[in-house]
Structure 1
Amino acid sequence: MLTTMKANVQPTGKGVQMQCESRGFKFILDEPQEAGGMNEGMNPLEGALCATGACLGIVAASFAQAKGFTYESFSIDLEGDVDPDGFMGIADVPKGFQAIRFNVNYKTSEPQEKCDEFTKFMEETCPLCCTFAEGVKVTYSNTVA
């Protein structure tokens, strides 16, 4: 069954800062001062990395027991490569991430092979990893003036 998730984003009136809201939860995305922001929050690409890491982590927490994988704790480090010249129109390069990489750091007694296998499962199951890997159609649907 298809579920439609909704969000609303609006300017805060402070530089390029945006207030993001979904299901009554709110957070701020911003840019560093050198990019016209107030530096009061992550920029959207940093937020996307964090959301991806959180999504991977939720997969781990949700499926570890069913997959017979045990851990005491874990953390996920992510990095994404982006060339700002694409967004700025300076160069004909992609405007978004060209690559995203992540490492999972487990505190576990599981063997390396089982850790690798579970991490691969996380990557293949994570909705945001799948969205990035498979692409998603983003369409403009309406403007209200």
Structure 2
Amino acid sequence: MVKQVLKAEVESLGGLQLKCSARGFEFMIDEPENVGGTNEAMNPLEALLCSLGACKMMVVRFFYQAKQIKLKSMRVEILGEIDSDRLKGKPDVKVGFSKIITNYYIDADNTDEEIQDLVAFIEKTCPVKDTIVNAPEMELHINP
């Protein structure tokens, strides 16, 4: 098995604004004004939901023709349920999402069964979903 290492870096720009970069590409992360941000970009949890949705869409783009899906258009909506009491320091409140819901909107000249098979394939094949559902080993290093 050949392991590949992907690298991302996050740098503080002051306040709650962050610059995220990987392979020469960048995007911003911020928080809404009501929690101290400037509301100039999505927050980290929204970025996670976008990453999950984008990954599911990429699986479709890579495989829909091989699966003989006559795709006209598609989009996914990702909803994350989270308890806002986590910010108030209440004990025993889950910090992250308690539920993530994917709504698929698929327009294709295929049967309902073929669309259901495609969605099952997406759910089984999406690396971001697999990372969330089957949490990887976490390791950290504190560097000078």
- How high is the TM-score relative to the length of structure 1? 0.93
What is the RMSD computed on CA atoms of the aligned residues?
Answer: 1.2
Letter in 1 for 2:68: G
Give the superposition deviation at 1:65: 1.1
The CA distance in 1 between the partners of 2:39 and 2:91, in whole Å, is 25
Paired AA for residue 12 in structure 1:
L
The structure 1 segments of at least 4 consecutive aligned residues displaced by more than 2 Å after TM superposition are 84-89
Instruction: Please list, as runs of the form range in 1=range in 2, the aligned pairs for 1:67-78 lying within 5 A after superposition.
Output: 67-78=67-78
1:36 equivalent to 2:32? Answer no
Higher fraction of strand:
2
Asked if 1:134 is matched to 2:142, the reply is no
**Matched AA of 2:9:** N
Counterparts of 1:24 and 1:32 in 2: how far apart (Å)? 26
Deviations, residues 30-62 of structure 1 (Å, cap 9, x unaligned)? 100111111000000000000100000000000
1:77-116 counterparts in 2 under 5 A? 77-116=77-116
User: How many angstroms does 1:139 deviate by?
Assistant: 2.2
Equivalent residue pairs, number:
143
Letter in 2 for 1:5: L
Which moved further from structure 2: 77-86 or 35-44?
A: 77-86
SS of 1:31 mapped into structure 2: coil
Question: Do 1:85 and 1:91's aligned partners in 2 also have CA atoms closer than 8 Å?
Answer: no
Shift in Å, 1:88: 4.5
Aligned-pair CA distance for 1:143: 1.8
Offset of residue 4 of structure 1:
0.4
Q: Quick one: percent identity of the two aligned structures?
A: 36
Task: Please give the per-residue CA displacement for 1:61-93, whole angstroms capped at 9, x wherever unaligned.
Answer: 001111122211101011011113235532312
Cα distance change on mapping 1:131 and 1:9 into 2, 3 Å = same
Distance in structure 1 (CA, Å) of the matches to 2:91 and 2:39: 25
C-alpha separation in 1, matches of 2:11 and 2:50: 21
Query: 2:55 is matched with which residue?
Result: 55
- Looking at structure 2, the residues matched to 135 and 70 of structure 1 have their Cα atoms a distance apart, in angstroms, of 34
TM-score, structure 2 normalization: 0.93
Which region of structure 1 is more displaced relative to structure 2, 79-88 or 24-33? 79-88
